[in-house]
Amino acid sequence: AALTLLCGSAAAVVVWKWLSKRQIQKKMEEAQRTRDEGAKKMAKAVQQFREQVPHDQTDAILSLPLLELTGRLREGCLSPKTVLYTYLEKALAVTQQTNCVRHFIPECEEQLQEIQQQKEKGLLYGIPISIKDHISHKGHLVTCGLVHCLGAPVQEDSVLVKVLKKQGAIPFAMTNVPQSLFNYDCSNPIFGQTLNPLNHQKSPGGSSGGEGALIAGGGSILGIGSDIGGSIRLPSSFCGLCGLKPTAERLSVWHTRLLNVDVGSHPNPVPCALGPMARDVDSLALCMKALLCEEMFWLDPTVPPIPFNEGVYSSSTPLRVGYYDTDGYFPLPPCMRRAVQETKGALQAAGHQLVPFSPPRIHYVMNELFLKTFFADGGRAWLDMFTGDIVDPNLKPQVNSCKIPRLGKKLLALILKPLVKFKNVTTLSPCRSVKEMWNHHHQIEVYRSEFITRWRALQLDVVLCPVLGPAFTTGYPGKLLTAISSTMLYNVLNFPAGVVPVSTVTEADEEELKLYQGCCDDPWDRTLKEAVAGAVGMPVAVQCVALPWQEELCLRLMKEVETLS
């Protein structure tokens, strides 16, 4: 009888697991069908428009920089309808190649009518804009690439979307993201892998990877991403775009979802920042100018009411620029260090003062401050998100390392310590008490103070430094979470930081890569070498940084770098 009961229980478990998987599969298929139907409807609308308006202006419209396009729309030389359908047509082609759009926004046609009735033309009048998956748009899902988020659509636009609409922009697409957003590749089990439009073997980066791919492919002129460890800057580096991570509180994050909670209601010592991504620095500046308006300050009173300072951005006063080409934690490929050195030389020749700068204690920041913020509970909250879900293959290394019991992690840390200099999440120990967590928050404040003191002692205006790149081959980012030290540092500090492409990978860079040994030629260094190989012709970028609330100064350095390169 006991054996029969045991067999019956085992059979019931098998059936229950099969039914659960089937349920997940059905939800995923439904989401994919909805996306495909939406794309077909949009393609039909574009076709109907094309029957009335020929293609003769398409290339001219797509090649216009944002500042010129806004000018022509405001003057009435171009109609918002022509511009919207031109970008929709291009976005359909780009997503067919790269799988970057998660869902088109059919309400863009309503917004088109709405802006034509506005009394005043906003700064982004008639500009089609793309937004990252987890930024709320009324009537649409916020999925974060997770099956359990495929429930009810959101009931309200996020503050940022409301402000963009008020400024005359037309949100037309929501872009793909990695599952849970905690990866700098761009794939999830529901909507699949997004590819880099410049090379389909390569990743577009993440977690704002759909944005990176769509803009780099020419299917969007301006996008909004988010950044909590490099998620705007890494796709910008991988795809050859300009991207800005502002000070986290400079732009509203209300009604933006992260780890299945509203970002605005979730205090975090390393906060999430929303910011623009585009083809040039002037576009980022215009977007910031449009967003930093009375409407945003009224809708979200927690945002400091600081309008965009055009004087700082437009200034030609020589800058005092700190620089470094390695942080000493995860040595970057030779081409990324070359980019910093060449940019340093160009800035110096243009009359700016360049001062060597060395960020303090990066090993401590990476292992103790950044990773411990996200895995303060040993990764349990993050793992809970995958309950009743399928884990994306690219996330399995991180998921599996979080599942190791605490004692196992301690033993692994002892074994790995002399070999790999702590380049693995496996070695993390969680905060064991509330007191320890408060102390962790305090240590972040202490580090910020130490960093600012060093910056002030050198009387720096801004800092020039490297960013991770060139683009990784798909599947590799999940194996190298801790390679993001170059971007992650400025999330811990909550400094504005932006990325500008300055060069491309040469045959000489590829040859030099063969000699790369990284920090100690350990498995992580060898994996990085594999990840970036075969990137000749791919973009090479640098990172520009300013002190908190100095976005305009950060953009000023970015513009200077862009002009000189």
265 Cβ contact partners less than 8 Å away, ≥ 6 residues apart: none
CA 84: distance to chain centroid?
A: 24
Q: Which two tokens stand for residue 85?
A: 């359908």
Q: Which residues, listed in sequence order, are joined to residue 188 by a DSSP beta bridge? A: 192
Q: Is 529 a catalytic residue?
A: no
What residue type is 103 in one-letter code?
A: H
DSSP secondary structure, 205-238, as one string: -SSSHHHHHHHHTTS-SEEEEEESSSTTHHHHHH
The reply, when asked if residue 207 is annotated as ligand binding, is yes
The reply, when asked if residue 379 is annotated as ligand binding, is no
Cβ neighbour number for residue 154 with a 10 Å cutoff: 16
Distance in angstroms between the alpha carbons of the first and the last residue of the chain: 79
Q: Which two tokens stand for residue 201?
A: 């073997």
425 Cβ contact partners less than 8 Å away, ≥ 6 residues apart: 371, 375, 379, 398, 401, 402, 481, 482
Q: Which of 207, 226, 237, 485 is catalytic?
A: 207
What are the helix (H) ranges across 352-433? Answer: 362-364, 371-374, 380-384, 396-403, 406-420
The reply, when asked if residue 181 is annotated as ligand binding, is yes
Q: Which of 130, 136, 158, 231 is catalytic?
A: 231
The half-sphere exposure of 455 on its side-chain side, counting CA atoms within 13 A, is 19
What's the full length of the chain, in residues? 565
Structural contact between residues 191 and 27, judged by C-beta atoms closer than 8 angstroms: no
Rg of the chain's alpha carbons, rounded to an integer?
Answer: 23
Q: Is 231 a catalytic residue?
A: yes
Cβ neighbour number for residue 19 with a 10 Å cutoff: 10
The reply, when asked if residue 390 is annotated as ligand binding, is no
Q: Which long-range contacts (CB under 8 A, 24 or more apart) does 295-302 make?
A: 295/162, 295/163, 295/166, 295/167, 296/159, 296/160, 296/163, 296/251, 296/252, 299/159, 299/162, 299/163, 299/252, 299/254, 300/159, 300/252, 300/254, 300/264, 302/249, 302/252, 302/254, 302/264
Reference 463, options 501, 489, 492; nearest CA is: 489
Cβ neighbour number for residue 298 with a 10 Å cutoff: 12
Give all strands (DSSP E) within 505-561, no chain letters. 539-545
Rounded CA-CA distance 519/510 in Å is 19
**Diameter of the chain measured on Cα atoms:** 89
Q: Is 429 a catalytic residue?
A: no
Q: What share of the chain is helix, strand, coil (3-state, %, to 5)?
A: 50, 15, 35
112 Cβ contact partners less than 8 Å away, ≥ 6 residues apart: 80, 81, 84, 170
Q: What are phi and psi of 116, to 5 degrees?
A: -75, -10
Q: Which of 132, 344, 479, 559 is catalytic?
A: 132
Reference 123, options 83, 172, 163, 174; nearest CA is: 163
Q: Which residues, listed in sequence order, are joined to residue 273 by a DSSP beta bridge? A: 227
Residue numbers in the known binding site for substrate are 181, 207, 228-231
Active site residues: 132, 207, 231
Residue numbers in the known binding site are 181, 207, 228-231
